[in-house]
Chains A and B, each alone.
Chain A
Amino acid sequence: MFFGQNETIPAGKSFITTWLLCVIWSFYGQAQIDPIERVATLTSGKRSIESCLIELASQGIELSYSDNILPLRKTVEIKITKRSVYQHFLTLFDDEKVGFESRGNLILLYRSKKKLSKKIVLSGYVWDAISGESLIDAHVWVDSLNRGTTTNEYGFYSLSIRHGTHKISSSYLGVNKTTEPLLFRENTRLNFNLEIPVSELNEVIVSSRDQDVDLKQTPTGYHKIDLNTFSQVPYFLGEVDILQGALMLPGIKNLGEDAIGLNIRGGSTDQNLILLDEAPIYNSSHLFGLISVFNPDAVQQVEIHKSGLPAKHGGRASSVINVRKKDGNDKEYHMTGGIGLASTRLMVEGPLKMERSSFLLSARSSFTNFSFFNFGDDISFNDTRASFHDLNAKLNFKINKKNKVYLSGYFGNDRNRIGEDQLRRWGNNTVTFRWNRQITPKLFMNTTAYFSEYSYRTGQPNKGIGEFIGTASNTDYAVKSDFSYFQSPGNSFDFGAGLIFHRIHPGDREPNIGNETFNAIQLDSKHAIEPYVYFANQQQISDRINLNYGIRFSQLNNIGPGEVFIYEENEVRETENIIDTINYKNNELIKSYKGVEPRISINYTVGQNSSFKLSFDRTVQYMHLISNTASPSPTDVWQLSDTYIKPQEANQLTFGYQQFLGEHFELTAEVFGRKMYEIIDYKNGADLLLNNSIETELLSGDGRAFGFEFLIKKNHDKLSGWISYNLSKSERRIRGITPELSVNEGRYFPADFDRLHDFTMVGIYNINNRWSLSSSFVFRTGRPITLPNAKYEFENSVVPNFSERNNGRIANYHRLDISAVFKGKKASKRKREQKVEDYWTFSVYNVYSRRNAFSYFFRQSEEVPFQTEIVKYSILGSIVPAITYNFRF
């Protein structure tokens, strides 16, 4: 049976709407017309119900009812004379508590608890038939009404339809199922089980219906990272990585090869809201940015919103990256894993109770210690060893048809050791509890409670008297409820509220026992409460125009205990200008900020294949990563907006065009402009470590970014891929009250990651069932760099003199990668019918071994005293081959 359960739900006594059986398979097996659907004629005019029933009976409609339960004397007016018996019933028993049922050719009429409904709500889930995973963004379509919807992030959909006979279709990634014609008379639950091939070499054919939903409902700036496709492109060390993959899409950049974090449409790295099963991740990188914290085995879907941000998400100024983990197979046990140069992975999943609950456990560890040696000056002190581990766990329970709960956790850990005497450990931990409930067929609720923590620890284990331990962390505890009310197809109303408690330990440094050199330093913890509410309405205004408008209200309340330094008015904020300190008691309000964030997006469909889109986003951010290094370091701390650090804000306007060209090609082109306010910058040589008055080291400014983004994708069986191009400019302006508090005298200057051109081409070619090849090429304008304008001597050393920030550019970046996937023969175990699938990935990074510059060094020549040399510094300046083995059984 290719689509799933049609479930009968007994009439409940609670306030919750009762759902009744309406689909009886056996009738359709016999291709028999339900007598309700037969066409009959009634004479027009004002008439009693009884006379109408007699007239129907005279036309061969067999009716059975008892006189005392139906309002036979009631007069009704018949306007339309020829229609189905069902429609006649709707006229006759309008507003009456009457029910009916077909038994063969006979129609039974009886007294019912509820009124006869004219509109029917069709709702349910779309699941993967093989694994039982909920399918997100699957389309559900009603052919006869030319209406459809998509499943939400929990795989749930709800559609209002007319009573009558309809064929219902569902599709996901080109897999399409359609029901037989079904008669719908009551609210119905219809779940779909789609057989999504497990194969990594998947064919994706986008149907015209999928296209239609896409054109009407997908906002601007939206990317879905489909792991089937993205796992086939070449990666550094063969390690499939969603954030490295995201860099191949337009408008998403980073600083370079070992830089942490993404810069999306001119935003800083701390402006991306990165969610893993709804919990924010504060550091998304392992191994200095080479690998992200998301284990590809455990990830089901990744969505990136560069604009058109849903009102339910907030707290970061530039984008939302929403990563959903798999639920775990609830039908069969499976083991998936792989071994490569970067990591070893193993995942186990399976049912706890068949089709009711499942678990998933996925672990990953760096294969060995990565060693970064220096053969230059001093091997014993600069030798760095790094390793990482992460664990994903998930449980889910379908408590009953309306309730489902999930428990999901991520635990990550990175270590590195510099020489013998410095050890650093850091990582994210998150726990998410979610409860999905269908309150009514049209109203869906998700309640989430999560905990997310990022912490680091540094120490000097072998340093004898120098031993100390440094720690810092930031922790969020949050609860939230999101509601979706599915009014009618194309019209839905989302609303919700949440409360986040933030606690930040900006840093402690404590000497080990017996160490009398160091004094303990403990910075005060900071606390804040962030409540928010949001409303969003998706509205189909006409066949062509779809409108999505929402608003989010948020607040940040800094609460005590805490102390706030008061600086002399009109003076530079420096420790010597502190004139007073105010102490706040427990839970006392220190400072409060409000944010009003409207989000609007309009889609205007033109013809069958294209649409124009327009969106406006306003965002407010209350947490900031304080980092004055080129790329954030694991030991950077987050800060809350407080008396002196204002919330960052951004406004963005995007105009987009999307077109499908035949079955295989999809083109999107977008133009955006964004203004950012209260961006944080740093005084020259800012000292951010263990600083209790961090505001004395900060500058603030604004930013602007403009860009044109172009993406053409081809989805096909043999050859697929995409071309992405981004023309953009992003700038910053730091204008303080004195020259020392300004950068470049308060003029706009290019942001560190500003690149005028960014071009990516990706091709995937499936040769046959066992071999596929892929290749990617990137070209990026070199990023800005600060060049010296002079040199001078001081104490017999040469010193470069810098005056303007980002006044030069490094050479352009380009790179070609290739990879090949070879699938093993499908073996089957003798006893069980499970298949063992395995494949090898061979990849070559930087095929032509280009030494792309990360930056330039300006230094004193070793040969000629008092002369300078400029040295190009490349991080991965050679060809890097890698091999990975993956299996699943």
Chain B
Amino acid sequence: MTRFIIIALFVVLWSCEDPVSINIPNSTPKLVVDGVITDVQTLQEIRLLYSNDFNSTTGTDKANGATVRIIDNIGQAIDFLEATDGLYQSTAVVSGNYGNSYQLQIELSDGTTYESDFQVLKPTPAIDFLSVNIVPNLRNDDPEVFNVSVHTTDFIEMGDFYRWKIFKNGFQLGNISDVILRSDRLFNQNQFSVEFDAFEFSSGDSCIIEQYSLSEPAFEFFRLLQIQTGELGRSTSTEPSPVKSNIYNINDHSEVVLGFFYATSVSQAEIVVE
């Protein structure tokens, strides 16, 4: 933002962004968990990898050969096998169930064991409908661009947390800094809408919106992650901070583990933009 500041009339003030290189000390790799269980019947996926030095130009190391399983609060277990480098898939097509709580358990190849907090799988309301707005396009020659909005009716109980993923012609848009999150604090039990104004569509594009329910810790995790990957460093930004994971080394709680494991339910809607 604010790449140029124009002071009306004649004066042009540049606020600028220049690439620089600064020395950042190396760090020891830490386990990163990127895991979710959904209520969709599918091969559930867990990724295990390691952090690396900030300035490193090589890819990150993956955690291979780990034993991974998810257990729930009623004693059922889902086992995972490494499908590709660091990506673990459930051994069968399964889904999580509303109201159950799930825990991720990991034993690395060196025998170190980790587990997550129990995460409750909360339902998400169905999407009522999607709508399309025309917005003026000031940037390029396209005469007009479109924004999509989702309309959903919140559950009666306070404490619902939402996340949406946007797909344009089959491809997911944005990365983690664009994650769209809402808490129902401001609109509990009402029909509400969220306009995805950071994503532009052209006439004829297909748009799929996936709506996810989150637990409060998962919502907080994504909110913090968004802060760390987004607008840091401006006078209006908050301080960068560690993002706490919900996964622990069972023998050493002080070991820093990164990433998160959560459970979610999904509802989906599709529209062709025109």
Contacts and interface: CB of A to CB of B under 8 A. Distances in A.
A737 interface: no
A376 B50 CA distance: 33
Interface in A855-884: 855-860, 864, 866-878, 880-882
A871 B187 contact: no
A799 B136 CA distance: 33
Contacts of A237: 7, 11
Contact of A854 (B21, B60, B188, B233): B233
A752 B27 CA distance: 24
Interface in B109-168: 135-139
A378 B139 contact: yes
A374 interface: yes
A584 interface: no
B24 interface: yes
A388 B176 CA distance: 36
A380 B5 CA distance: 15
B114 to A, nearest CB: 15
Nearest to A387: B8
A789 B52 CA distance: 9
A380 B3 contact: no
Interface string B174-194: 011100000001111011110
Given A374-B1, A856-B22, A874-B18, A882 B193 contact: no
Nearest to A368: B8
A874 B15 contact: yes
Nearest to B12: A878
A399 interface: no
Nearest to B253: A739
Interface in B67-90: none
Interface in B1-41: 1-9, 11-22, 24-25, 27, 29-30, 32, 34
Contact of B60 (A368, A378, A866): A866
B228 to A, nearest CB: 6
A855 B16 CA distance: 11
B32 A868 contact: no
A832 B231 CA distance: 60
Contact of A789 (B2, B27, B239): B27
Contacts of B223: 685
A506 to B, nearest CB: 15
Contacts of A794: 32, 34, 176, 225, 258-260
Interface string B51-68: 111111101100000000
Interface string B227-239: 1110011111111
A856 B237 CA distance: 12
A543 interface: no
Interface stretch (A492-500, A514-522, A606-614, A648-656): A514-522
Interface in A759-798: 785-798
B244 to A, nearest CB: 7
B146 to A, nearest CB: 13
A858 B16 CA distance: 15
B242 interface: yes
B255 interface: no
Contacts of B16: 851, 873-874, 877-878
A237 to B, nearest CB: 7
A289 interface: yes
Contacts of B234: 630, 854-855, 873
A646 interface: no
Contacts of B251: none
B220 interface: yes
Contacts of A793: 32, 34, 47, 49, 60
A218 B13 CA distance: 42
Interface stretch (A104-112, A137-145, A252-260, A703-711): A252-260
A88 interface: no
A731 to B, nearest CB: 15
A258 B176 contact: no
Contacts of B177: 797, 859
Contact of A790 (B54, B135, B244): B54
A788 B24 contact: yes
A801 B258 contact: yes
A857 B59 contact: no
Contacts of A629: 235-238
A518 B54 CA distance: 42
Given A374-B2, A630-B233, A794-B259, 18 more contacts: A372-B2, A373-B4, A519-B187, A630-B237, A630-B238, A686-B238, A790-B27, A792-B30, A793-B60, A797-B176, A797-B177, A798-B229, A855-B234, A856-B22, A870-B20, A871-B20, A872-B18, A876-B5
Interchain residue pairs A-B with the least CB separation, the first 5: A855-B233, A797-B176, A684-B241, A368-B8, A631-B235
Interface of A: 237, 255-256, 258-260, 288-289, 341, 367-382, 384, 465-466, 509, 516-519, 521, 628-631, 633, 682, 684-686, 690, 740, 752, 785-803, 805, 808, 851, 853-860, 864, 866-878, 880-882
Interface of B: 1-9, 11-22, 24-25, 27, 29-30, 32, 34, 47, 49-57, 59-60, 135-139, 175-177, 185-188, 190-193, 195, 197-198, 220, 223-225, 227-229, 232-244, 256, 258-260
16 contacts: A370-B7, A374-B1, A518-B190, A630-B234, A685-B238, A786-B239, A790-B51, A794-B176, A797-B177, A799-B228, A851-B16, A856-B22, A856-B233, A867-B57, A870-B19, A872-B17
